[in-house]
Structure 1
Amino acid sequence: MEMIRALIGPDTGDASVLQLCVRAVVLFAFGVACIRIAGRRTFSQISPLDIVVALIIGSNISRAMTGKAPFFPGLAATLVVVVLHRLLAMATLRWNVLARWIKSAPVVLVRDGVVDRQALARHGLGAGDLAEGLRMQRIERAEDARLATLEAGGKISVVPKTGG
């Protein structure tokens, strides 16, 4: 525990630049994990990575503005988060496993009119959520959908069955 305290510094606002940078990295990872646990529907249109970065940057800037954190160390920690965000975004282009974890992969909810109830349950969606997504695409029933997918951004996209 002493080693962790040495890494993250005291809670009195007297942390060094390095300690604030370590805190930023730890909070970044914790924030991504919390948002992944909460589920993609919680924040709908933006990725978990973007949410964490926005929250940390907003908080860091706020604390620097109000004098609750040392100004230059706070800016350094914020810069670490921004650079980490950029590096992770670039890394997701190279490594698909990381991209799936950070951005999520689309999930098929309906295929050829058949609802995948396990996929709905796994992602915390009910029949009402699916019905709403279908209605938003002007589809009345799941049977009329060739494909309905929970996209990485949290929206349900639908491909209707063609007539015939």
Structure 2
Amino acid sequence: MISFSYDFWFGTKERLDISEMTIRGVIIFVLALILIRISGRRSFGLRTPVDNIVSILLGAVLSRAVVGASPFLPVVITCLIVVTLHRTLGWFIARNPRFSRFVEGDKILIYKDSKFLEDNMKRVQICREDVMQGIRRQSLTEDLREIDHVYIERNGEISAIRKK
């Protein structure tokens, strides 16, 4: 039977039945949607390390409210703080290139002048086949003669620039 007490909705509970967990799941779904809207498109669009941290953290914290492992209000407040921090970091990243490079890093050249830059590839821990996979996916070719430069981007994706 569903309990509508303050303690149930905003406290913790050792065992939830199906209806209780379902109702909590619906509430958390709506809350997560609101939090994502507050956080902005960046959190699920760019997929930089900072964005991934926010996604993982929100999922982990929100799940505690669904299963009743943590009190509801502290979960909500924690998540609001996380998305506010993410939005603030995004604001600074967009306005300060130095801060952006510090937080998210910079693109790294891994192929140039028909040569793989092995030192840079070791630095980012990728092999030639990883680079080729990125080239095939992005440039739709395996012919390196068509490729001018290849970068590993800040979010870990590989970008290939075709020759003119």
Task: Give the TM-score, by structure 2 length.
Answer: 0.64
Structure 1: tracts of 5 or more residues without a match:
1-12, 14-44
How far the C-alpha of 1:143 sits from its partner, in A, is: 4.6
Aligned-pair identity (%): 26
The aligned residue for residue 116 of structure 1 is: 117
Q: Deviations over 1:65-103 (max 9, x none)?
A: 222111111211111111111111101122222212333
What displacement does 1:141 show?
4.4
- The structural deviation recorded for 1:152 is 1.9
**Aligned-pair RMSD on alpha carbons?**
2.0
Q: Name the residue aligned to 1:94.
A: 95
Any gaps of 5 or more consecutive residues in structure 2? 1-11, 13-45
Shift in Å at residue 114 of structure 1?
2.2
Query: How far apart are the structure 2 equivalents of 1:86 and 1:116?
Result: 35
Asked if structure 2 preserves the Cα contact closer than 8 Å seen for 1:114 and 1:142, the reply is no
Which residue number corresponds to residue 126 of structure 1? 127
Instruction: Tell me which structure has the larger Cα radius of gyration.
Output: 2
User: For the structure 1 residues 61 and 141, does the alpha-carbon distance in structure 2 shift closer, same or farther, using more than 3 Å as the test?
Assistant: same
Shift of 1:117: 0.7
Residue 80 of structure 2 is matched in structure 1 by 79
Asked if 2 retains the 8 angstrom alpha-carbon contact of 1:110 and 1:147, the reply is yes
Give TM-score, length-normalised by structure 1.
0.64
Aligned equivalent of 2:151: 149
1:1-164 to 2 correspondences below 5 Å = 46-136=47-137, 137-162=139-164
Kept in 1: contact 2:107–2:151 (CA 8 A): yes
